[in-house]
């Protein structure tokens, strides 16, 4: 290479100026026979290297020009080489500093990115935990709804059984009284409550499904964040002394499906926003369930108290009527006894009038055989006649009174039968209301069970 530069420099020196004319006129010189040297060694030339060079000798000024040209060219070359070395060392230092700075900036950017990922990851994790806890609380409320719905079966069975039992009341106690009205209200209330609890239960199941769906979305996002955090953390630990680094020429291109920082943040923000919205809906639903269960238990207990109070009033009314009927029956039985004694006395009185009637009629009959003028209408005759008439009237009045007394006795017997029948009806009604219905209502669930706590 140095020889080539020398040859090129010599050629440039030779071509700088036309050669000066010879002082001695040119003459015809004899042709010199050139003898080609033979190859005498491994590094000898066969003479072909001299082909193309001029055969005339150089002039002194050409030699000086050639020398100065070489010197100048060498100096320029050294200067250029030194400047190139300086520039190369400066460029190496600047590029090293730039590379180090770029690597530090990239590491700082990765650190900042790790902070951003950690922030959203923590927010997602908190939202996942909140949703999981909220779903658990809502599941507990759902369990309360199910227990409360099951607890309404007992009051419904009690109320319907009470209505069926009271259908066995006898006339005239088979009446649509206040107890029946309250029982029908209770049955209707329980049906409405069961429908409300079923609708609320379906709403709770749907809300739990939404909570789990949004929790799953947040978990997928959180899982991606964890994987990305691990990747970026590994990238942040890479340095120039790392052993597992290599060239990846195609890694500098952007993926077409890659997101921007804005869409990346918006994605997690929207997931958290939707999850938070469902969490608030779940909290509101739990409060609504609390209110519904409280109102349901209170309504059922209030209606149960109203039915029990109506039963108590009705039983008290029936007891009072039964006592009065029994009092009337007692008086009627006493009157029946007195009337029977009266009838017996009247019959005896009628019988007692038979002998005086016989005496009077016998006297009149015997006196009718008095002879001739002795058959006189004397005072004795008139008195005997009036005596017979008086006895006849007495017997008639006694018989009439006997008939009245016998009719009164028959009326008293009818009254006694009616009273006894009515007392039996009242006893049956009292047995149904008190021994059957009210005893069955003692199994009514407590408030805690109706509210779904048990």
Q: pLDDT tens digit string along 74-96?
A: 888 898 888 889 988 888 888 88
**Mean pLDDT computed over every residue of the chain:** 84
> Does residue 23 fall inside a structural domain?
no
pLDDT at 65 exceeding the cut of 90: no
pLDDT at 253: 75
CA 131 to mean position of chain CA atoms = 12
Per the structure, the count of domains in the chain is 2
Regarding whether 298 and 152 lie in a shared domain, the answer is yes
Contact (CB, 8 A) for 388 and 360:
yes
Domain containing residue 424: 327-368+376-451
My answer on whether 403 and 302 are in the same domain is no
For residue 216, pLDDT beyond 90: yes
Residue whose entry in the numeric block shows the structure tokens 């009254």: 415
CA distance 365 to 371: 13
- Is the pLDDT reported for residue 262 higher than 60? yes
Q: Are residues 340 and 299 in the same domain?
A: no
Q: What is the DSSP string of 22-35?
A: PSSPP--PPPP-PP
Q: Is there a single domain that holds both residue 300 and residue 357?
A: no
What's the pLDDT tens digit per position in 15-33?
444 455 544 454 454 554 4
Distance CA 332, CA 330 (A): 5
Give the side-chain half-sphere CA count within 13 A for 228. Answer: 18
Distance CA 427, CA 408 (A): 28
22 is a domain residue: no
306 and 158 part of one domain: yes
Note whether residue 419 is domain-resident: yes
Residue 440 pLDDT grade (very low, low, confident, very high; cuts 50, 70, 90): confident
**Nearest one of 329, 317, 323 to 434, comparing CA atoms:** 317
Residue 265 lies in a domain: yes
Q: How many residues does the chain have?
A: 454
Radius of gyration of the chain (CA): 69
Q: How confident is the model at residue 359 (pLDDT cuts 50, 70, 90)?
A: very high
Tokens of 296: 């349901």
Residue 132, in any domain of the structure: yes
**Residue 250 pLDDT:** 75
Is residue 429 assigned to a domain?
Answer: yes
The answer to pTM > 0.85 is: no
Instruction: Judge if 270 and 223 occupy the same domain.
Output: yes
Kindly state whether residues 211 and 299 are assigned to the same domain: yes
Query: In this structure, is residue 170 part of a structural domain?
Result: yes
Share of the chain above pLDDT 70, in %: 87
């Amino acid at each position: 290479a140095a020889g080539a530069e020398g040859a090129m420099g010599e050629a440039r020196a030779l071509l700088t100026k036309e050669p000066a004319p010879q002082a001695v006129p040119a003459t015809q010189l004899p042709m010199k026979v050139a003898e080609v040297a033979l190859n005498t060694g491994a590094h000898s030339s066969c003479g072909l290297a001299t082909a193309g060079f001029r055969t005339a000798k150089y002039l002194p000024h050409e030699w000086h020009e050639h020398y100065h040209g070489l010197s100048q060219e060498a100096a320029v070359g050294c200067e250029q080489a030194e400047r190139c070395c300086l520039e190369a060392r400066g460029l190496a230092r600047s590029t090293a500093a730039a590379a180090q700075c770029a690597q530090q900036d990239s590491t700082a950017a990765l650190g900042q990115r790790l902070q951003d990922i950690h922030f959203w990851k923590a927010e997602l994790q908190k939202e996942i935990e909140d949703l999981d806890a909220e779903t658990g609380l809502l599941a507990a409320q759902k369990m309360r709804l199910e227990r409360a719905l099951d607890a309404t079966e007992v009051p419904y069975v009690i109320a319907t059984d009470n209505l069926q039992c009271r259908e066995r009341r006898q006339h005239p106690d088979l009446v649509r009284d206040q107890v029946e009205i309250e029982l029908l209200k209770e049955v209707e209330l329980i049906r409405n409550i069961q429908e409300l609890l079923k609708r609320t239960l379906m709403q709770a199941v749907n809300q739990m499904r939404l909570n789990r769906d949004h929790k799953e979305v947040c978990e997928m996002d959180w899982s991606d964040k964890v994987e990305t955090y691990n990747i970026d953390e590994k990238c942040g630990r890479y340095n120039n002394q790392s052993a597992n680094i290599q060239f990846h020429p195609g890694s500098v291109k952007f993926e077409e499906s890659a997101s921007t920082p804005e869409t990346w943040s918006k994605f997690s923000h929207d997931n958290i926003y939707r999850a938070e919205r469902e969490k608030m809906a779940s909290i509101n639903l739990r409060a609504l369930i609390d209110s519904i269960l409280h109102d349901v238990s209170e309504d059922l207990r209030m209606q149960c108290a109203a039915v029990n109070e109506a039963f108590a009033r009705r039983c008290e009314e029936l007891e009072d009527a039964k006592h009065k009927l029994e009092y009337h029956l007692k008086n009627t039985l006493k009157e029946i006894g007195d009337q029977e004694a009266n009838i017996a006395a009247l019959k005896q009185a009628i019988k007692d009038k038979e002998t005086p009637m016989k005496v009077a009629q016998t006297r009149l009959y015997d006196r009718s055989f008095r002879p001739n003028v002795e058959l006189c209408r004397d005072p004795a005759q008139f008195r005997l006649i009036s005596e017979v008439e008086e006895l006849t009237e007495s017997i008639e009045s006694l018989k009439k009174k006997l008939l009245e007394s016998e009719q009164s006795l028959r009326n008293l017997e009818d009254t006694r039968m009616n009273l006894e029948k009515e007392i039996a009806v009242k006893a049956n009604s009292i047995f149904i209301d008190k021994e059957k219905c009210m005893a069955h209502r003692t199994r009514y669930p407590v408030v805690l069970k109706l509210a779904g706590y048990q």
